[in-house]
Amino acid sequence: MHILTADSALMTIRAIRCGLVLSPLPVPVIDSVVAYVPGRPAPLGKEDVAAPHPDDVTLRQSGFDFAAVEANRSIGLTRFGSFGDVLREGTLDLGVFDPRKRDRNKSIRTRLLSRDLPMAALIRVTPALYIASPELIILQLAATHTSVQLAQLIMELCGTYSLSPQQGDEASASYQLDPVMSLESLRAIRSQVKMHGGKAIFEEALSMALEGSASPAETCVALMMSLPADQGGYGFPKPTLNALLTTPQWERDHVAGASYHLDAFWQGCYTDLECESIAYHLDPFVAQALQAARSDDIDVALLPDDRIMHNLRQRLISKADADRQRMRDIQSLGIQVVPVTSYDLSHLRRLDQVAWALAKRRETTEGIDATTHMDALDDYDARQRRLALLEQLSPMPFVELW
């Protein structure tokens, strides 16, 4: 029996979520969005939404077969079945319960696991293969990641998208998935697991993270806007990601939809930052074509023919038309929409302009002076921190123009 941990477990979960390997994963029973109806009280914050706690039974109490767990890679990756191809690159992370079974092979990292781990900390894939749960992965990676990197990962696993196992760019991610953990389940596992490193990083990352992100671009926008200035952000309150805006009955004749999801919604100023990222908000085929067009090593044989390009243009026009109609409908329901493009996420000056639009909206609706807020971010050190954070968070190739 083998237990995949840390990075190997993360690659496996990403492979399952992206459909590269067929295997079920537990899905947390949580509300992925917060309902919002114009004219009603503010929605509950996600911290107020209850989620079920994992089972408190420990592996020791369950009669888990600790003696069967091995960390010997000499058997080869064929032991891992269809997961072998996913795990072929890089070092293999395996967990054991007996320190005598720790493997010294340089191509393997062995992690000593506690027999008092909660049952929810391991996921049974096959009788011979277990993987660390998403919550346990976060705790294990806290010692090797920055707080921002860990917050991104938390938002991915609490969100409805997944990066590829090899962590490709946004165009290679998968979307419209079920979350595989919640902030509540992460806190519950943390309360039952003793951490040997990265405690401060974990707590800081947990304070940054939000649930409900639907794309790497939304994660970038939410963190850039909500982190304090001393951490490289703009210092706005946290938004609600993918809040469900329900069209009141009396408005149904005036807009096209019964409901809309708002990418990053600030309840206090009735403002929605809408991420127009290439990979998620365009058709996947369009995303691939545009990604290829930016590449330096285009294979001419793979370029679309005239007929396909005509269809591509028609789909782009149709998508652009639908997006404009959606934006108009949301604004007619009383929500100010601020578009955020992929270009904005690769140029700090452009993102500063997005932040200014949000600050001006807060000034109009909440009386918070926009100039005072933004002037505090205008000194050299603050700008350098924002630049470093955006380079780390941006899902797009980064180019800074000053």
pLDDT tens, 308-354? 666 666 666 666 667 778 888 998 888 999 999 888 998 999 999 99
Q: Tell whether 290 is covered by a domain.
A: yes
Q: Tell whether 62 is covered by a domain.
A: yes
So what's the pLDDT on residue 252? 84
- Please indicate, yes or no, whether residues 178 and 75 belong to a single structural domain of this protein: yes
Rounded distance between C-alpha atoms, residue 204 and residue 59, angstroms: 29
Q: Tell whether 347 is covered by a domain.
A: yes
Mean pLDDT, the chain, as a whole number? 82
- Please indicate, yes or no, whether residues 324 and 194 belong to a single structural domain of this protein: no
- Please indicate, yes or no, whether residues 192 and 244 belong to a single structural domain of this protein: no
Structural domain harbouring 262: 237-402
- Please indicate, yes or no, whether residues 171 and 241 belong to a single structural domain of this protein: no
So what's the pLDDT on residue 43? 46
Confidence of residue 165 (pLDDT cuts 50, 70, 90): confident
User: Does residue 102 register a pLDDT over 90?
Assistant: no
So what's the pLDDT on residue 34? 63
Rounded distance between C-alpha atoms, residue 335 and residue 282, angstroms: 23
Please state the separation of Cα 260 from the chain's center in Å. Answer: 20
- Please indicate, yes or no, whether residues 123 and 184 belong to a single structural domain of this protein: yes
Which residue is it, tokens 């107020």? Answer: 48
- Please indicate, yes or no, whether residues 11 and 157 belong to a single structural domain of this protein: yes
CB 186 within 8 A of CB 137: no
pLDDT digits (tens, 9 = 90+) for 18-50: 888 777 777 665 554 566 666 554 443 444 433
User: Does residue 53 register a pLDDT over 60?
Assistant: no
- Please indicate, yes or no, whether residues 329 and 290 belong to a single structural domain of this protein: yes
- Please indicate, yes or no, whether residues 134 and 251 belong to a single structural domain of this protein: no
So what's the pLDDT on residue 163? 92
- Long-range residue pairs from 28-32, CB within 8 A, at least 24 positions apart, any chain: 28/52, 28/179, 28/180, 28/181, 28/182, 28/185, 30/179, 30/182, 30/184, 30/211, 32/160, 32/179, 32/211, 32/212, 32/242
More confident position, 397 or 119: 119
Q: What is the mean pLDDT of residues 211-231?
A: 95
Helix (H) or strand (E) holding 108: strand 108-112
The encoded tokens of residue 102 equal 């720790």
Q: Tell whether 144 is covered by a domain.
A: yes
Give strand pairing partners of 129: 2, 126
CB 242 within 8 A of CB 36: no
- Please indicate, yes or no, whether residues 17 and 113 belong to a single structural domain of this protein: yes
Q: What is the mean pLDDT of residues 382-396?
A: 90
Q: Tell whether 41 is covered by a domain.
A: yes
Rounded distance between C-alpha atoms, residue 14 and residue 157, angstroms: 9
3-state class (DSSP) for residue 285:
helix
Q: Tell whether 225 is covered by a domain.
A: no
User: Does residue 54 register a pLDDT over 60?
Assistant: no
- Please indicate, yes or no, whether residues 280 and 373 belong to a single structural domain of this protein: yes
- Please indicate, yes or no, whether residues 94 and 186 belong to a single structural domain of this protein: yes
Helix (H) or strand (E) holding 243: strand 240-246
Number of domains in the chain: 2
Helix (H) or strand (E) holding 58: none
Q: Tell whether 190 is covered by a domain.
A: yes
Confidence of residue 254 (pLDDT cuts 50, 70, 90): confident
- Please indicate, yes or no, whether residues 206 and 246 belong to a single structural domain of this protein: no
Tell which of 178, 197, 212 closes a domain.
Answer: 212
Q: Tell whether 226 is covered by a domain.
A: no
